[in-house]
Amino acid sequence: MNRLLVSPSPHIHTRTSTRSLMLDVVIALLPSVIVSILYYGWSAVEILASSVVFCVLLEYLITKYLLKRPCTVGDLSAVVTGIILALNLPPAAPWWVAMIGAVVAIGVAKMTFGGLGQNVFNPAITGRVFLLISFPAIMTTWDGAKGFIGGIDAVSGPTPLGIVKEGLMQGQTIDQIFAANDFSYFQMLFVNIGGSAGEISALAVIAGFIYMLARKVIRPYITLSILVTVAVFSGIFWLIDPSQYTDPLFNLLTGGVLLGSVFMATDYVTSPMSDKGGIIFGVGIGVITMLIRYFGAYPEGMSFAILIMNSTVPLINKFCKQKKYGRA
């Protein structure tokens, strides 16, 4: 006689697991990783490797020796955090910057709250913002990296957003700045002019977005509502005064808007559960990003916007419930 298991229904389970979802995110990040390595060469490899290694190692050490719990690195969420953190750093940054970023991301933002699923703020962005505030010089220097592709000049100079902010402060108009720096949208779509590793190619990020949608890892509402908000907000200002405000396409293709809206705002843990909540969350991120870009001291506001909106998620979850069956 066989011994048969007895347990409540359901008796089958989907093949999707936390690990498989995280693996899909890693795959979706690969185009951006490849572009940044091709474009920034060994320095991108170094920053990627150190960021991922430190994130995973730290989570392992914390679960094993501090929390004395089963090790959770197998779920690959630390790998995702490591890659996203690296894509947010200037490739020329030294390895110890990535290490400090990992300590803040994994050690402070993630594990002190109880590990995956418990954190309020996105770990990678928390790490990046900490670095941006602590090491402003390193975090805004784009010199010194040599790419693998011939024909592309060694990268130098600030990001397009930084150039625009600088130019406007000196009293130039947008047209003058664009002409002086030879900006082209074609370049931004494929390989940008300066920027952190993950910001340089819009197309690579979009490829990752499409992959995650196709694999049903994320739903499109958060990302799309951020992009639409950025486009509409900047569109209104640009129509009012094109000499002082950058146009919508420029705002969508530069800086961290794409990377942030696809990979960071969509983080399960720190974004709302419902689609309706996701749209509110996305609109909030879009508005705050553009307010910082147009009126703030920093040229870029995506990270701050996501962190600020992260803190509103519990409230959004409370008020945005999905429609229930048979209840008006």
Partner 1 sequence: MKKTFSIGGVHPDDKKISAGCAIEVLPTPKKVYISMAQHLGGPAKATVAAGDKVKTGQVIGEPTGFISAFVHSSVTGTVKSVGLRKDLAGIPVIHVEIDVEDDEWMDGIDTTDTIVREIPQDTKFILDRIRNNGVVGLGGATFPTNVKLCPPPDKKADILILNGAECEPYLTSDYRIMLEKSEQIVIGAALMKHVLGVERVVIGIEENKPEAIAKMKEAVASLAAGTAGYSGIEVMTLKKKYPQGGEKQLIDAVTHRQVKSMGLPIDVGVVVQNVATSLAVYEAVQKNKPLIDNTITVTGECFPKQSNLLVRVGTPLSYIVDWLGGIPETAAKAVSGGPMMGKAIANMDAATLKGTSSILFLTEEQTKRKPETNCIRCGKCAEACPMGLEPFLLNKLAKNRMYDELEENAVQDCIECGCCLYSCPANIPLLDIIRIAKGDVIRIIRSRTAPKK
156 binds partner 1 (CB under 8 A): no
- Verify binding: residue 314, partner 1, rule CB under 8 A: no
Q: Say whether residue 192 binds partner 1 (CB under 8 A).
A: no
5 scored as a contact of partner 1 (CB under 8 A) = yes
Phi-psi region of 151 (alpha: psi -120 to 50; beta: other; left: phi over 0): left
Should residue 68 be labelled a site residue for partner 1 when binding is judged by CB under 8 A?
no
Nearer to partner 1, 231 or 307 (CB): 307
Per CB under 8 A, the segment of 124-132, 244-252, 253-261, 265-273 that binds partner 1 is 265-273
Q: Does 170 bind partner 1 (CB under 8 A)?
A: no
Question: How far is it, in rounded angstroms, from Cα 291 to Cα 230?
Answer: 10
Q: Tell the smallest beta-carbon distance from residue 11 to partner 1 (Å).
A: 4
Q: How far is the CB of 149 from partner 1 (least distance, A)?
A: 37
Work out whether 118 is an interface residue with partner 1 (CB under 8 A).
yes
> Looking at 38, 61, 269, 291, which residue binds partner 1 (CB under 8 A)?
269
Residues in the interface with partner 1 (CB under 8 A) total 37
Considering only residues 203 through 232, tell me which ones interact with partner 1, judged by CB under 8 A: 219
Binding status of residue 108 toward partner 1 by CB under 8 A: no
Among 32, 51, 77, 196, binds partner 1 (CB under 8 A): 77
The one segment of 51-59, 109-117, 195-203, 221-229 that binds partner 1 by CB under 8 A: 109-117
Assess 311 for contact with partner 1 (CB under 8 A).
no
Site for partner 1 in 15-34 (CB under 8 A): 16-18, 20-21
Instruction: Give me 54's structure tokens.
Output: 């430190």
Q: Which residue reads 């000049």 in tokens?
A: 153
Residue of the chain from 135, 273, 286, 292 that contacts partner 1 (CB under 8 A): 273
Selected from 41, 51, 54, 75, the binder of partner 1 by CB under 8 A is 75
Residue 31: CB minimum distance to partner 1, A: 23
Tell me which stretch binds partner 1 (CB under 8 A): 8-16, 123-131, 178-186, 198-206.
8-16
11 near partner 1, judged by CB under 8 A? yes
Give CA–CA dist 28/211, Å, rounded: 6
Instruction: Identify the residue among 60, 95, 237, 268 touching partner 1 (CB under 8 A).
Output: 268
Contact 159, 250 (CB under 8 A): no
Instruction: Give Cα 87 distance to the centre of its chain.
Output: 8
| CA-CA-CA-CA dihedral for 257, 262, 268, 271, to nearest 10 | 30
Q: Which is nearer to partner 1, 189 or 269 (CB)?
A: 269
Residues binding partner 1 (CB under 8 A)? 2, 4-14, 16-18, 20-21, 72, 75, 77, 114-118, 219, 268-269, 273-274, 321-327
